[in-house]
Amino acid sequence: MCAKGILYTNSDKPRYLPSFVKRNRLKGTARKELINSDLGAFSLNPQDIEEYISPNNELKLEIGFGDGSHLIKRALLEPTTLFIGCEIYLNGIANVLKAIGRYNIKNVMLFNGDARNLLEQVPCNIFTTIYVLFPDPWPKKKHHKRRLVSLEFLNLLRGKLKTNSSTILIATDHQDYALYIQRLVENSGIKSVIRKPDDWIETKYQMKSAALGLDFKCFLIYK
């Protein structure tokens, strides 16, 4: 079932165990200045998202965009699509703000916070694609409860997909995490395939991983 949940802000008591390490120190004066001067203009208030929804307007979401390279490349390739980037770390957000200024990008909005808090506040059936690229695998067994991908999370995402052909794309280079996701979708009967999409764009993290000889899996998950 898809419904708007309780409204959360960054100052509210967290509902979820963090799926990220708590570090958010900005590196360099220039990044601090970008955050202070530009973030407000590109910040998304989840309660205002309906302003951007229309039959002819595609919305795509990237959760945990890291340094922002994938988000920016997508935005440049698809100028008529609105991309919403969700990231907890301000250094990555500063990178995106810098690129927005450099390339005069008009189709990116940003949410600085836990993506699950964003998702609980936005309507159902609005995103054509949701990207979750290389989330932290939390490899130690005692930390598995902190993994972002869970059945609850997948169902939350699936409720936000616009149509039956809309997709959630999850990529990981961690073998155990990939097996965990595969078993999760198979056991729950969620429609999915394991393959790299035709329009795949390499991320900075993926290139570092490939240099270490690591392969990765892509899960395309449907509504």
12, 38, 48, 136: the active-site residue: 136
Quick check: is 24 in a domain? no
**pLDDT reported for residue 210:** 74
CA 69 – CA 86 distance, rounded (Å): 13
pLDDT band for position 3 (50/70/90)? very low
Q: Is the pLDDT of residue 72 over 60?
A: yes
- Range in 23-27, 120-124, 149-153 the model is least confident about: 23-27
Q: Is the pLDDT of residue 10 over 70?
A: no
Quick check: is 14 in a domain? no
Quick check: is 2 in a domain? no
Q: Quick one: 21 exposed, middle or buried, by C-beta within 10 A (0-12, 13-18, 19+)?
A: exposed
Quick check: is 92 in a domain? yes
> For this structure, is 48 an active site residue?
no
Quick check: is 117 in a domain? yes
**Could you give the number of structural domains in the chain?**
1
Q: Is the pLDDT of residue 14 over 80?
A: no
Quick check: is 79 in a domain? yes
Secondary structure E strands in the chain: 59-63, 82-86, 108-111, 127-133, 167-172, 192-194, 217-222
**pLDDT reported for residue 157:** 98
Question: Which of the two residues, 214 and 163, has the higher pLDDT score?
Answer: 163
pLDDT band for position 26 (50/70/90)? confident
Residue span of the structural domain in which 155 resides: 29-222
pLDDT band for position 5 (50/70/90)? very low
The pTM for the full model equals: 0.89
**pLDDT reported for residue 9:** 40
- Please tell me whether 215 is known to bind a ligand: no
Quick check: is 15 in a domain? no
CA distances in angstroms from 41 to 35, 141, 163, listed in the order given: 10, 41, 30
**pLDDT reported for residue 97:** 97
- Please tell me whether 173 is known to bind a ligand: yes
- Please tell me whether 114 is known to bind a ligand: yes
- Please tell me whether 62 is known to bind a ligand: yes
Quick check: is 186 in a domain? yes
- Please tell me whether 48 is known to bind a ligand: no
The CATH number given to whatever domain includes residue 202 is 3.40.50.150
Q: Is the pLDDT of residue 67 over 70?
A: yes
Q: Is the pLDDT of residue 171 over 70?
A: yes
Share of the chain above pLDDT 90, in %: 72
- 79-127 pLDDT, tens digit per residue, is 999 999 999 999 999 999 999 999 999 999 999 999 999 999 999 999 9
Instruction: Supply 184's token pair.
Output: 């999760």
Average pLDDT for 150-175: 96
**pLDDT reported for residue 15:** 66
